[in-house]
Amino acid sequence: MIPTKTAYTRPESIEEALATLADGARPIAGGMSLIPMMKLRLASPASLVDLSGLAELTGIAMDGSDLVIGAMTRHREVAGSALVRAQAGALADAAAGIGSPAVRNRGTIGGSLAQSDPHGDLPAVLLALGGSVEVRGASGSRTIAAADLAVGFLTTTLAADEMIVAVRLPGGAGRSAYAKFHRRAIDWSIVGAAAVIRGTTTTVALTGMAAVAVRATGFEVIVNAGGSLEEAARHAGDGTRPAEGLDGSAEYKRHLAGVLARRATEAALAR
Partner 1 sequence: MRSSIRITVNGVEHDLEVEPRRLLVHALREDLGLTGTHVGCDTSSCGACTVHLDGDAVLSCTMLAVQANGRSITTVEGLATAGGLHPIQTAFHERHALQCGFCTPGMLMAGAALIEGNPEITEAEVRQGLEGNLCRCTGYQNIVDAVLVAARETARA
Ligand X SMILES: Cc1cc2nc3c(=O)[nH]c(=O)nc-3n(C[C@H](O)[C@H](O)[C@H](O)COP(=O)(O)OP(=O)(O)OC[C@H]3O[C@@H](n4cnc5c(N)ncnc54)[C@H](O)[C@@H]3O)c2cc1C
6 vs 217, beta carbon nearer partner 1: 6
- Binding residue for partner 1 (CB under 8 A) from 14, 43, 83, 103? 103
| Secondary structure tally for the chain: helices H, strands E | 12, 14
φ, ψ of residue 79 in degrees (nearest 5):
-65, -35
Residue 102: Cβ-neighbour burial (10 angstroms; 0-12, 13-18, 19+): exposed
Query: Which of the ranges 24-32, 168-176, 220-228, 257-265 carries the binding residues for ligand X, by CB under 6 A?
Result: 24-32
Q: Alpha-carbon distance 238 to 257, whole Å? A: 10
Query: Could you tell me if 240 and 260 are in contact, meaning their C-beta atoms sit under 8 angstroms apart?
Result: no
Q: Alpha-carbon distance 10 to 34, whole Å? A: 16
Least distance in Å: CB of 69 to ligand X? 12
**Contacts to partner 1 from residues 110-149, by CB under 8 A:** none
120 vs 174, beta carbon nearer ligand X: 120
- In sequence order, the 6+-apart residues with CB closer than 8 A to the CB of 36 are none
5 vs 140, beta carbon nearer partner 1: 5
Least distance in Å: CB of 187 to partner 1? 9
3 vs 130, beta carbon nearer partner 1: 3
- In sequence order, the 6+-apart residues with CB closer than 8 A to the CB of 65 are 170, 171, 172
Q: Which residues bind partner 1 (CB under 8 A)?
A: 1-8, 10, 28, 31-32, 35-36, 38-39, 48, 50, 52, 76, 99-103, 105-106, 185-186
Q: Which residues bind ligand X (CB under 6 A)?
A: 26-34, 51, 71, 98-99, 103, 107-108, 110-112, 114-115, 117, 120-122, 158, 163-164, 186, 188-189
